[in-house]
Amino acid sequence: MLPAALPPPSAANAQNASADADYDFLLVGHGIAGALLGWELRRRGCRVLVYDAPRPDSASNVAAGLMNPVAGRRFALSWRAAELLPAAAAAYRTLEAELGQRFFFATPIFKVFGSAPEQQDILARGAARPWGDFVAELTEKDPQLPGLDAPFGGAWLRGGGYVAVRELLAALAAQGQAAGWLRAETFEWAHLVSDATGVAYAPGRVRAARVVCCEGAAAAHTPYFSWLPLTPNQGEVLDVRCPGLSAAQVLNRGAYVLPLGAGQFRVGATYRWPPFATGPTPEGEAELTGRLSALTGQPFEVVGRRAGVRPAVRDRRPLLGAHPAWPWLSFCGGYGSKGVMLAPRLAVLLADWLEGSGELWPEVDLKRYYSFYK
């Protein structure tokens, strides 16, 4: 249901909203979803304006940035990994070249087997090569990496790595503020006035042909999209100093352990359902230090803690596409715990669709939830 504050489309509020819009797209949110979409649209020559209220605890600013092709307790191939990962690597490399800064670290991932039964299960499943080329090697032996306890061996994964998301977004935002395409402000949906084909936004006297909501978990409270089945969950990560631990790879068993350089690592992540804590918690820290201790006997010191809220979706698939009633309004998000891997390819998919040159994949199209809209 739209709140009373949002006027319905009418001739009265149409007033040049789209006839000669200042912008082709107005994006709300510059987390990894909005940032990659905005970048893609700008590359195509579109006039884009982004509103982003910067939050150090946004999911993207908290994320460890891992892109893992084979993950989870079931050790299953990630959804569309073969398509998403190369697209992500190419996009992040291009951004590095454009911004003159390194963000993407193509690092091997060592999935540590936790027990003999787990080892045997994965070795048996590996015979059918269900993970394609992403599993480089399965080993029953401890690889003898400095500081790591892996008596049951593990699986070496390739094709993944991690992205310094916070640094990437900061570099893009600095460029956006200098060039004028980013406003570090909260976008007030109540100040949006629409006709059937475009909008006028009063505070900045902005007119745009289309609006895309890229608000992350905050979209669950946005009047236009509160009907979507977003199921946000909170997560915590720790930064630790552990000079004795091997830094040549990402480690993964229960937690992931990413090398940050200079003997530091990021350890993540926890999952917590509402009610959310106001920030990092002692329980979160205890859970993550416990998981790190299961991987290494080396001494370590916690040097940082962060918490953020993931924009998860009931069916664990992203949400892209048009609002059922407002053709000028679209959605880009629902990336759950995989925004870094999803954002680049889905930005291209959505940009193609927004420009009328491609279809959305049915499993990401938010049409699948139109029956929820009243």
Q: Sheet of 255-261: strands edge to edge? A: 135-139, 154-157, 109-112, 250-253, 255-261, 264-268, 233-241, 301-310
Specify the DSSP element, H or E, that contains 347: helix 339-354
Cβ proximity to ligand FAD, 91 vs 341, nearer residue? 341
Q: Which amino acid is at 27?
A: L
Q: Closest residue to ligand FAD, Cβ-based?
A: 31
Subset of residues 4 to 43 that bind ligand FAD, contact rule: CB under 6 A: 28-34
Cβ proximity to ligand FAD, 137 vs 285, nearer residue? 285
What is the smallest separation between the CB atom of 331 and ligand FAD, expressed in angstroms?
Answer: 10
188, 192, 198, 203 alpha-carbon torsion, rounded to 10°: -80
CB 331 within 8 A of CB 340: no
Q: Mutual orientation of helices 81-99 and 165-179 as an angle, nearest 10°?
A: 50
Cβ proximity to ligand FAD, 160 vs 198, nearer residue? 160
CB 305 within 8 A of CB 335: no
Residue 127's alpha-carbon distances to 134, 147, 215, in angstroms, are 14, 30, 43
341 binds ligand FAD (CB under 6 A): yes
What is the smallest separation between the CB atom of 105 and ligand FAD, expressed in angstroms?
Answer: 12
Helix, strand, coil shares of the chain as percentages rounded to 5? 30, 25, 45
Residue 373's alpha-carbon distances to 224, 325, 326, 332, in angstroms, are 10, 9, 12, 17
Q: Which amino acid is at 70?
A: V
The site that binds ligand FAD (CB under 6 A) totals a number of residues, namely 42
CB 270 within 8 A of CB 288: yes
Which window, 170-178, 289-297, 337-345, 357-365, contacts ligand FAD (CB under 6 A)? 337-345
What are the residues facing 250 on neighbouring strands? 109
58 binds ligand FAD (CB under 6 A): yes
What is the smallest separation between the CB atom of 120 and ligand FAD, expressed in angstroms?
Answer: 29
Strand ranges, E, within 269-359:
301-310, 319-322, 329-333
Which window, 4-12, 190-198, 332-340, 350-358, contacts ligand FAD (CB under 6 A)? 332-340
Subset of residues 251 to 280 that bind ligand FAD, contact rule: CB under 6 A: 268-269
Stretch 301-330: interaction string toward ligand FAD, x if CB under 6 A: -------x-xx-------------------
What are the residues facing 241 on neighbouring strands? 264, 301
105 binds ligand FAD (CB under 6 A): no
Cβ proximity to ligand FAD, 125 vs 166, nearer residue? 166
64 binds ligand FAD (CB under 6 A): yes
Cβ proximity to ligand FAD, 207 vs 266, nearer residue? 266
Cβ proximity to ligand FAD, 29 vs 198, nearer residue? 29
Runs of H (alpha helix) within 127-280: 165-179
Q: Which amino acid is at 68?
A: N
Subset of residues 128 to 167 that bind ligand FAD, contact rule: CB under 6 A: none
364 binds ligand FAD (CB under 6 A): no
**Residue numbers of the site for ligand FAD (CB under 6 A)?**
28-34, 51-53, 55, 58-60, 62-66, 186-187, 214-218, 235-237, 268-269, 308, 310-311, 333, 335-341
